[in-house]
Homo-oligomer: A and B are copies of this chain.
Amino acid sequence: MKEMEPFNLLVSHEEAEEIILSKIQPIDRTESVTLSDAVNRVLSEDIIADSSVPPFDRAAMDGYAVIAEDTYDAGDREVLLELDGVIHAGEVSDIEITRGHCIQIATGSPKPSGADAVVMVEYTEKQGNRVLITRPVYPGANISKLGEDIKKGDVVLPRGVFLTPAKIGAIAALGRTKVEVYQKPKVSVIATGTEIVQPGEPLHPGQIYDVNSFTLEAILKKNGADVQRYPVITDDPKQLRNGIESALEADIVVLSGGSSVGERDLLAGILEDMGQVLFHGVQIKPGKPTLFGTIRGKAVFGMPGFPTSCLSNAHIFLVPAIRKMARLPSNPERTIIAKMGKRIVSSSGRKQFLTVRLENGNAYPAFKHSGAITSMAQADGYVMLPVNLDVIEEGEEIEVILLN
């Protein structure tokens, strides 16, 4: 009936996510990085211990290396041991401990032969060349055994783990300086629109500055992507096609713009021609005009042109996709429970991404307009309202996903 049918492949949030994730393959390319650069990366090799940690039996406490049996009566009668010397950290002693003797030992030093325990300094008293032991120890007390932490041959960390500071420490403990990690997915980001101007350039009447390239670049970088931001492309089929062609050197192409029907159709047409359109329009508010497809097996996102729509859909669709590709753990979002500070009526018949400000544990709508970047920039978080929700009463508890 209508002359222009603006959306012909409208899918639900869940369908859209399923379609997207089905087209995203985790990165297989790897690279070698230094331990200093390994934090927040994903291991692409099994880390197998080629030596044991600790590499020798060592004192776990400062004190005296002894033969435990010599100390069993300590506390009941006076146990005095001959002091044969001292072992500082980093030193190896060739003294062999025999019955009735001991040696002073620093935490971390190799246990001398003959000794089978360390008495903590707190339970001793030095008397000239002898040491009074005030508490007994059992064999093995205060000694870290060779391989107690890591055994030679152990898989210390399996491929695929996310490298936290502690995990990097475990690799350093083996003496490694470099590690193999999965490469970051490469993403090309292109803003389109004849009215869009690169920040820094003069603005002529009818023009506005590109916001989306910068918000997309930032959110993609935060989620493990290597981002190449391209210059703005006008709504010209030839230029768009050329732009997409060179952007395809990346693993994923993310275009923004084309928020008007004509531009949307232009991009959809090119995508259909170069590859395939998998959906065109999502039952979500804001952010309905989202386009997704593939060209030569690579995912191509056509994000809405309006800044808030673009960025909210980046949170919803792009972040899970890029994290899957980067092999990062999913859903790193922090949520809090807040009370709705104001009654909300939702009648969109679409799932809604509602930005909120937080004040004293209350959440107030921050949404102005999907064209307004401040809807998002001045929000603390957002709430996902289900399709069939009509009203949230003031004071009702809601889960707020924090924006950061």
A19 at the interface (CB under 8 A from B): no
Contact with B along A60-100 (1 / 0, CB 8 A): 10100000000000000000000000001111100000000
If A166-B379, A210-B172, A369-B60 touch, whether A109 touches B403 (CB-CB below 8 Å) is no
Q: Is the CB of A208 within 8 A of B55?
A: yes
Q: Is the CB of A39 within 8 A of B221?
A: yes
Q: Is the CB of B173 within 8 A of A126?
A: no
A277 at the interface (CB under 8 A from B): no
With an 8 Å Cβ cutoff, the count of chain A residues facing the other chain is: 108
Q: Is the CB of A108 within 8 A of B169?
A: no
If A39-B218, A169-B212 touch, whether A193 touches B89 (CB-CB below 8 Å) is yes
Question: Which positions 173-219 of chain A face chain B at CB distance < 8 Å?
Answer: 173-177, 193-197, 199-201, 203, 205-219
Q: Is the CB of B167 within 8 A of A369?
A: no
A36 at the interface (CB under 8 A from B): yes
Q: Is the CB of A54 within 8 A of B371?
A: yes
- CA separation between A200 and B171, bound complex, in Å? 11
Partner of A376, one of B92, B126, B169: B169
A392 at the interface (CB under 8 A from B): no
Chain B residues with CB below 8 A from A3, complex form: 121, 124-126
- Using a CB–CB cutoff of 8 Å, the interface residues on chain A facing chain B are 1-4, 6, 35-36, 38-40, 51, 53-56, 60, 62, 88-92, 106-110, 121-122, 124-126, 144, 148-150, 156-157, 162-177, 193-197, 199-201, 203, 205-219, 221-222, 229, 234-235, 259-263, 305-307, 311, 314, 329, 332, 334, 368-369, 371-374, 376-379, 403-404
**Nearest CB of B to A217, in Å:** 6
Partner of A144, one of B196, B211, B221, B369: B369
Q: Is the CB of B148 within 8 A of A206?
A: no
Chain B residue at smallest Cβ distance from A334: B334
